[in-house]
């Protein structure tokens, strides 16, 4: 199997497993317990928190461990909206992950004012668009939520400019950095977001643990109750062993940049050029964006059934996806492509290739060859 769906989940890396194994018997106790094993687990949890905070350029006290990226996004958006004494104003980009968009819709049903910010044909949000929206003063507590990098097409947003604009207008800024962390430099010192989302399994860490960075005293209403863990923002028994793996995954990913990014960029160019040679009508989504993730390529292929193509590739040992694993499998159902103005008529297959630490040039060549063969076979069968 050639696995090219790392944007969905990057398999746990060997050094992460080893780091977790070394702490078995030490970090696999309840850190809230008052006995010695609990104390050792608590120490492991806090050491992991410190290491991740240092890598991200923020204070350890700002990190709240959660169960994953979706939970962190929900806590940021819904938690902000529910903590205000007046209706909250939420500005979200049209290409956000569903964890942000659906949380905003829920907040809207509870009285929040939600505005969706349009993007251009590359999926990029022009900072002037945000500037114009925020110039219209409303007097409502405002949160701007824009993802650092898009999970479906790889467009990297100008988060530094967007954050500065939000702050200049007195708004808070949240960014979902799940796809960006480990692929492009992510520094919360350079981009002083008030809230930021990261998750472990996109970095080769364990599934089931993420974090929300909450700068300073940003007020949030908890989404769960019953404990004092994570400053009562995400109560429940913490996962210190998972945190150990999370910290190691962050350390590996950040220390390997920019070398890994350069290698991935070369693989992306190689794949793109190979596919274009044999599929001249290939569309590369977000191709003209000011910046794209180095390890992600999203393409559109006309006159080709997406479900049949993905099934054929899977049977041939090529693991791909059409987009976000949290979205529907239908290309026409992609809110990201729709926001970019991609509205194909007839059959239109979307393939998202996403690389990881183990991806090689031979993997890319084999996958490209199989994609071309499957597309030709499916097109011939429909002719």
pLDDT in the model for residue 326: 57
Residues 6 or more apart in contact with residue 33 via CB below 8 angstroms: 39, 41
- Identical topology for domains 2-9+257-382 and 14-255: no
pLDDT in the model for residue 325: 60
Which residue matches tokens 């987009």? 323
pLDDT in the model for residue 383: 59
Residues 6 or more apart in contact with residue 115 via CB below 8 angstroms: 89, 90, 91, 92, 133
**Over the Cα atoms of the chain, what is R_g?**
21
User: Cis peptide leading into 18, omega within 30 of 0?
Assistant: no
Interval 242-268: pLDDT, tens: 999 999 999 999 999 999 999 999 999
List 379's β-bridge partners, or say none. Answer: none
- Complete edge-to-edge strand list for the sheet that includes strand 283-284: 283-284, 296-302, 348-354
CATH number of 2-9+257-382: 3.90.1150.10
Task: With beta carbons less than 8 A apart as the criterion, state whether 323 and 152 touch.
Answer: yes
Q: Where are the domains of the chain?
A: 2-9+257-382, 14-255
- Alpha carbon distances (Å) from 40 to 21, 30, 46, 250: 15, 9, 10, 22
Other beta carbons within 10 angstroms of residue 255's beta carbon come to 11
Task: With beta carbons less than 8 A apart as the criterion, state whether 184 and 175 touch.
Answer: no
Helices and strands in the chain, H and E counts: 11, 12
The whole model's pTM is what? 0.95
pLDDT in the model for residue 227: 93
Strands 210-214 vs 63-66: parallel, antiparallel or unpaired: antiparallel
Strand spans (E) along the chain = 2-3, 63-66, 89-93, 113-117, 142-145, 172-176, 195-199, 210-214, 283-284, 296-302, 318-319, 348-354
Q: Name the residues annotated as catalytic.
A: 326
Q: Give CA 163 to chain center in angstroms.
A: 18
Token duo for residue 377: 């076979």
- 200, burial (CB in 10 Å: exposed 0-12, middle 13-18, buried 19+): buried
**Helices 36-56 and 240-256: crossing angle, nearest 10°?**
20
Domain 14-255: state its class.
Answer: alpha beta
pLDDT in the model for residue 324: 66
Q: List, run by run, the mean pLDDT of 10-residue segments along the chain (383 residues).
A: 97 98 94 96 97 97 98 98 96 98 98 97 98 88 98 98 97 98 97 98 98 95 95 96 98 96 98 97 96 98 95 97 63 83 90 97 98 95 73
Q: Containing H/E element for 310? A: helix 306-315
Task: With beta carbons less than 8 A apart as the criterion, state whether 76 and 198 touch.
Answer: no
């Amino acid at each position: 199997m050639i696995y090219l769906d790392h944007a969905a989940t990057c398999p746990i890396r060997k050094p992460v497993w080893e780091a977790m194994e070394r702490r078995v018997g030490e970090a696999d106790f309840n850190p809230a317990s008052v006995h010695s094993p609990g104390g050792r687990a608590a120490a492991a949890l806090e050491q992991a928190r410190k290491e991740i905070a240092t890598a991200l350029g923020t204070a350890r006290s700002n990190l709240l461990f959660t169960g994953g990226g979706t939970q962190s996004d929900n806590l940021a958006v819904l938690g902000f909206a529910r903590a205000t004494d007046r209706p909250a104003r939420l500005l979200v980009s049209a290409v956000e992950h569903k964890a942000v968009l659906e949380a905003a819709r829920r907040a809207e049903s509870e009285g929040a004012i939600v505005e969706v910010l349009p993007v251009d044909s590359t999926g990029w949000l022009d900072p002037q668009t945000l500037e114009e929206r925020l110039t219209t003063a409303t007097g409502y507590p405002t949160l701007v939520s824009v993802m650092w990098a898009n999970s479906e097409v790889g467009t990297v947003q100008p988060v530094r400019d967007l954050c500065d604009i939000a702050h200049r207008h007195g708004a808070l800024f949240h960014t979902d950095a799940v796809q960006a962390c480990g692929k492009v430099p992510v520094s919360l010192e350079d981009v002083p977001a008030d809230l930021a989302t990261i998750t472990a399994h996109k970095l080769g860490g364990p599934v089931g643990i993420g974090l929300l960075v909450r700068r300073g005293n940003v007020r949030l209403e908890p989404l769960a109750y019953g404990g004092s863990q994570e400053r009562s923002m995400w109560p429940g028994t913490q996962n210190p062993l998972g945190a150990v793996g999370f910290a190691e995954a962050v350390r590996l990913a950040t220390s390997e940049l920019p070398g890994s990014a350069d290698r991935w960029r070369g693989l992306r160019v190689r794949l793109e050029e190979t596919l274009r040679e044999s599929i001249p009508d290939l569309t590369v989504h977000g191709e003209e964006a000011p910046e794209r993730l180095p390890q992600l390529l999203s393409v559109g292929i006309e006159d080709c059934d997406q479900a049949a193509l993905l099934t054929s590739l899977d049977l041939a040992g090529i693991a791909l996806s059409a987009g976000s694993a949290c979205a529907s499998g239908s290309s026409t159902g992609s809110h990201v492509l729709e926001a970019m103005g991609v509205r194909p008529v007839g059959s239109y297959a979307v393939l998202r290739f996403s690389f990881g630490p183990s991806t090689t040039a031979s993997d890319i060549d084999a996958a490209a060859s199989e994609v071309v063969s499957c597309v030709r076979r499916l097109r011939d069968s429909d002719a």
